[in-house]
Amino acid sequence: MEMKEFGLNDVVEMKKGHPCGANAWKIIRMGADIRIKCEGCQHSVMIPRVEFNKKMKKVLVKAETEAE
Question: Sign (positive/negative) of CA torsion 15, 50, 53, 36?
Answer: positive
Asked if the model's pLDDT at residue 65 lies above 70, the reply is no
CB 53 within 8 A of CB 4: yes
Residue 30 has pLDDT above 80, yes or no: yes
Average pLDDT over residues 5-25: 92
Average pLDDT of the residues of the chain = 88
Edge-to-edge strands, sheet with 44-48: 44-48, 33-38, 25-29, 11-14, 56-61
Q: Which pTM value belongs to this model? A: 0.84
From residue 63, give the alpha-carbon distance in Å to each of 21, 26, 27. Answer: 23, 9, 10
Please report the pLDDT score of residue 64 as a whole number.
72
